[in-house]
């Protein structure tokens, strides 16, 4: 039930923000941080590399301390597409928007709702 409520709140807040941007003659996609420029691919690469390195270091330390044991598993890769999709999706959604580079204050008053709605999907 809580998941349904959070999804409705997320949907309504997204609709509200998009309508607000449109009525105030702001570029909707750029205001939501969804732009493609020369920094898009490096942002995605860094956003994927840093967590990969951090998780790998944790794995190596746990393995070295004997906290975990690695054994063979089933050859069922059916869920890997969903995981890769979520990782790429969060890399795109949560990257620092191009309009916020080099400025102390955010240009968009509702940009936090975009990040919050993305976070609410994984509570």
Answer whether residue 14 shows pLDDT above 70.
Answer: yes
> Where do we find the tokens 């790429």?
88
- 90 CB contacts (<8 Å, ≥6 apart)? 118
Considering the domain architecture, whether residues 10 and 59 belong to the same structural domain is answered as: no
Total number of domains constituting the chain? 2
> Which domain does 92 fall in, by range?
38-96
pLDDT at 67: 92
Distances in whole angstroms, Cα of residue 89 to Cα of each of 44, 73, 84: 10, 27, 8
What is the model's pLDDT at position 95?
60
Residue with tokens 């709702």: 113
Rounded distance between C-alpha atoms, residue 101 and residue 28, angstroms: 18
pLDDT in tens, 47-72: 899 999 999 999 999 999 999 888 87
3-state secondary structure of 123: coil
Q: Does residue 61 sit in the same domain as residue 109?
A: no
Q: Considering the entire predicted model, what is its pTM?
A: 0.45
> Which one of 47-51, 68-72, 81-85, 103-107 scores highest in mean pLDDT?
47-51
- Whether 113 has a pLDDT exceeding 70, the answer reads no
Asked if 28 and 62 sit in the same domain, the reply is no
Q: Are residues 43 and 78 in the same domain?
A: yes
């Amino acid at each position: 039930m809580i998941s349904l409520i959070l999804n409705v709140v997320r949907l309504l807040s997204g609709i509200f923000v998009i309508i607000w941007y449109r009525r105030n003659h702001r570029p909707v996609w750029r205001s939501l941080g969804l732009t493609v420029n020369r920094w898009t691919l490096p942002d995605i690469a860094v956003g994927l590399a840093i967590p990969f390195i951090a998780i790998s270091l944790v794995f190596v330390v746990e393995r070295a301390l004997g906290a975990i044991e690695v054994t063979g598993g089933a050859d069922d890769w059916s869920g890997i597409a969903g995981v890769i999709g979520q990782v790429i999706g969060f890399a795109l959604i949560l990257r620092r928007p191009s309009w916020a580079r080099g400025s102390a204050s955010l240009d968009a008053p509702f940009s936090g709702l975009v990040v919050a709605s993305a976070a609410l999907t994984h509570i």
